[in-house]
């Protein structure tokens, strides 16, 4: 009888822990998300100092990498910027911590139906920048 009580106690404890889980783990959101737009403008953008492509890769182990290619000159010269780090999932929020050139960057990210929306402050005190990424 004591053995049965221990087993039942273990099952109840496991169910309670499972009930507290927010539903998503890194493996649930893992994949490569392709940049679709910046502040509502489709990518590639026209002009200089603008994003022409980008991707955000999230792994099942919680690693993250953002690659963003900018057109940096009128002659079409581009430069890629890579930020790496990690992430965790809380509900529909993806908490990123990415490092680039020694700086840790923590953009806000929301996930809905395979679309990941990153929001971060404009470097020149303008309105927030909103990047929309989609996973195929």
Q: Write down the mean pLDDT value for the chain.
A: 85
Model pLDDT for residues 109-124, shown as the tens digit of each residue: 999 999 999 999 988 8
Model pLDDT for residues 23-36, shown as the tens digit of each residue: 678 888 999 999 99
Model pLDDT for residues 8-24, shown as the tens digit of each residue: 333 333 333 334 445 67
pLDDT of 22 reads: 52
In this prediction the pTM is 0.79
According to DSSP, residue 26 is labeled H
CA distance linking residue 85 with residue 97, whole number of Å: 6
**4, pLDDT greater than 50:** no
Buried b (16+ CB within 10 A) or exposed e, 38-55: beeeebebeeeeebbbbe
pLDDT of 13 reads: 37
Model pLDDT for residues 61-117, shown as the tens digit of each residue: 999 999 999 999 999 999 999 999 999 999 889 999 999 999 999 999 999 999 999
Is the dihedral angle over the CA atoms 64, 91, 133, 79 positive or is it negative? Answer: negative
Q: Are the CB atoms for 51 and 70 separated by under 8 Å?
A: yes
Number of H helices, E strands in the chain: 2, 10
Number of Cα atoms under 13 Å in the Cβ half of residue 112: 4
């Amino acid at each position: 009888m004591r053995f049965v009580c221990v087993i039942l106690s273990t099952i109840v404890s496991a169910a309670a822990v499972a009930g507290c889980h927010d539903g998503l783990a890194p493996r649930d959101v893992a994949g490569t998300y392709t940049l679709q737009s910046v502040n509502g403008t489709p990518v590639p953008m026209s002009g200089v100092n603008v994003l022409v492509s980008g991707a955000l890769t999230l792994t099942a182990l919680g690693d993250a990498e953002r690659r963003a290619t900018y057109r940096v000159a009128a002659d079409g010269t581009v430069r890629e910027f890579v930020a790496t780090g990690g992430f965790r999932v809380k509900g529909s929020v993806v908490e990123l911590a990415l490092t680039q050139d020694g700086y840790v960057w923590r953009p806000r990210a929301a996930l809905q139906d395979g679309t990941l929306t990153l929001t971060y402050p404009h470097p020149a005190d303008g309105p927030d920048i909103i990047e929309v990424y989609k996973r195929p």
